[in-house]
Amino acid sequence: MMYQKRVGLVSVILGVAVWHSTVFAEQKLPDLVEAYFRSSDPVTRSTLLDEIELRKDATILAVRDILAHVSLWDAKPSGFSSFRFQTERGDATSVHVHVPRGYDPAKAYPLLIALHGQGGRGEGYIRFALSLLGDRMHDYIVAAPTQYKGWWVGSTLKESEDPMAIIRKLKRMYHIDSDRVYVNGYSMGGHSSFLAAVLHTDQFAGVVPLAGSLMTQLGWEAAELMLPNVRSLPMLVVWGNGDVHDRFGNVDKVGKGIHGANLHVRGVSKRFDLGLDMVELDGVGHSGVKPPPERFSEILRRVRPHVVKKFDHWFRYPSQGRMCWLRLAEYQGIPWKGRRFVVRLKPGEVYSEGALRTMKLRLAYVGGEIDGQTIRVETRKCKSIDVVLHDGLVDLDRDVVVEWKGEKVFGGRVTPSVRTMLELAYEDWDFQRLFPVRLHIRRGGRVTER
């Protein structure tokens, strides 16, 4: 009897599979791709991917073109609205949104994330952000979360997941150009936008902190370590030289207040040739900081690069461990959750050297460079990594070499896959920068293509 039940169950499953296959076979490829992204069921998405892979017309180029014109968004009224965002911690926060006049869900719009200052709210700051846009306010979708968390180095592990979760939510609600996502904030929001640039560089096309600075909560030496993260990201940093209230306990070598902090940041930027646009407003304090209109416009015209062949990226939590074509897959050990650390100097070592050494022991890192067909990767606290590739990074028709910490872990041809390209596009909800190759590499050198 049990055997008969099992045979019957298998027959039902096979019957459903045949039915699905028959239905899918009758659909056009763009409809199958759209159905894949509209489905929230992993089993259905996997079945759709199986069917797409069987289609002779499902080439990389064909599916890439479909993704450039995919229709996944509904019409939205223009003007102000808000929604409640549920965090991984179970908290809820409101996100206020301004949708431009004549919003067309078939068109991809740039997104400006606007971060309010301490004691502020999203519905208030969003109006200030719109005033900065002026006549261009109907060219952008603007979103302002209230009482946001997770945009700091000192945030908790759970909080650290909020920034990208909010952006993914917005990208699913509105048709947003992933190559043109910007962040602006004032005061505490300025600090937060600066840290968003440092911790999530890969996600943005430009960042504009106002009356804020790089407040890592780890000490001023951290700028030496983490500021080079933003080498490929345009930033416009604007503050008043009268903003000297010492609310941060700055040491003498930095100076007081946000002015002193940004003098330090400017020095580090010049030393590392980072190209930050630092605008110091003479005679202005903490209030009344506005960016020069023409330079603000320039930043908001920038487009996220698809090809960055060399980078460094220091971070704290797994959700922050990605940059361009390199992504943390599994964290090694337990992320550092403290906010303080003790610096024990070695003989002949000055404090700044000891502080940097101590930070490196606690933070994680992904970095690398692509030289022709050779990919060199360096990491800290990474048990496994994903190397994702497209044909602008390497020639996918020739052998590729991957070296991890100086050891060759892969050599040979990679296999571009429509399935991989669709899976990564779904994970990121990103239809502008597509990766048809993913090499999953574990410590010890075991490599699989996913």
pLDDT per residue as tens digits for the range 290-346: 999 999 999 999 999 999 999 999 999 999 999 999 999 999 999 988 767 888 999
Quick one: pLDDT at residue 248?
52
Structure tokens that stand for 93 in this block: 């926060």
277 within some domain = yes
Domain end position, chosen among 299, 319, 351 = 299
Of 69, 1, 2, whose CA–CA distance to 29 is shortest? 69
**Sign of the torsion angle spanned by Cα atoms 23, 24, 25, 29:** positive
pLDDT band of residue 24 (cuts 50, 70, 90) is low
73 within some domain = no
Q: Which residue has the higher pLDDT, 192 or 338?
A: 192
Beta-bridged to residue 387, according to DSSP, are: 326, 439
424 CB contacts (<8 Å, ≥6 apart)? 388, 430, 434, 435, 438
At 411, give phi and psi (nearest 5°): -155, 125
Is 12 a residue whose pLDDT tops 50?
no
Is 415 a residue whose pLDDT tops 80?
yes
pLDDT band of residue 282 (cuts 50, 70, 90) is very high
Is 71 a residue whose pLDDT tops 80?
yes
CA 258/CA 134 separation, integer angstroms: 27
Is 216 a residue whose pLDDT tops 90?
no
Give per-residue pLDDT as tens, 370-412. 999 999 999 999 999 999 999 999 999 999 999 999 999 999 9
Residues 314 and 287 in one domain: no
Q: Give me the chain's average pLDDT, please.
A: 91
What CA–CA distances, in Å, run from 313 to 46, 105, 244, 326? 33, 35, 30, 10
CA angle 180, 185, 190 (to 5 degrees): 120
Q: What percent of the chain has pLDDT over 90?
A: 82
Quick one: pLDDT at residue 14?
37
274 within some domain = yes
| Structure letter (DSSP) for residue 176 | E
Residues 112 and 179 in one domain: yes
**Mean pLDDT over residues 201-208, rounded?**
97
274 CB contacts (<8 Å, ≥6 apart)? 227, 228, 230, 231, 268
- Kindly report which listed range (1-10, 41-50, 110-119, 289-298) carries the lowest average pLDDT score: 1-10
Is 88 a residue whose pLDDT tops 80?
no
Residues 190 and 100 in one domain: yes
| Pure H helices in 272-395 | 293-299, 351-362
Residues 191 and 331 in one domain: no
Helix H or strand E segment including 258: helix 257-271
CA 23/CA 16 separation, integer angstroms: 10
Task: Say if pTM beats, i.e. exceeds, 0.85.
Answer: yes
Of 310, 29, 301, 347, whose CA–CA distance to 140 is shortest? 301
Residues 189 and 285 in one domain: yes
Any idea what the CATH number is for the domain that residue 83 is in? 3.40.50.1820
Domain range for residue 41?
24-58
Maximum alpha-carbon separation in the chain: 88
Contact indicator for 440, 447 with CB cutoff of 8 Å: yes
Quick one: pLDDT at residue 25?
61
At 214, give phi and psi (nearest 5°): -80, 85
Structure tokens that stand for 406 in this block: 């100086």
CA 157/CA 179 separation, integer angstroms: 27
Helix H or strand E segment including 53: helix 42-54
Quick one: pLDDT at residue 164?
94
254 within some domain = yes
Count of Cβ atoms closer than 10 Å to residue 268 Cβ = 20
pLDDT band of residue 250 (cuts 50, 70, 90) is very low
Domain end position, chosen among 272, 299, 326 = 299
Name the one residue in this structure whose structure tokens are 């700051």: 125
Total domains, the chain: 3
Count of Cβ atoms closer than 10 Å to residue 72 Cβ = 14
Residues 251 and 366 in one domain: no
| Pure H helices in 272-393 | 293-299, 351-362
CA 312/CA 380 separation, integer angstroms: 12
- Kindly report which listed range (19-28, 36-45, 119-128, 256-265) carries the lowest average pLDDT score: 19-28
Structure tokens that stand for 211 in this block: 């009356």
3 within some domain = no
382 within some domain = yes
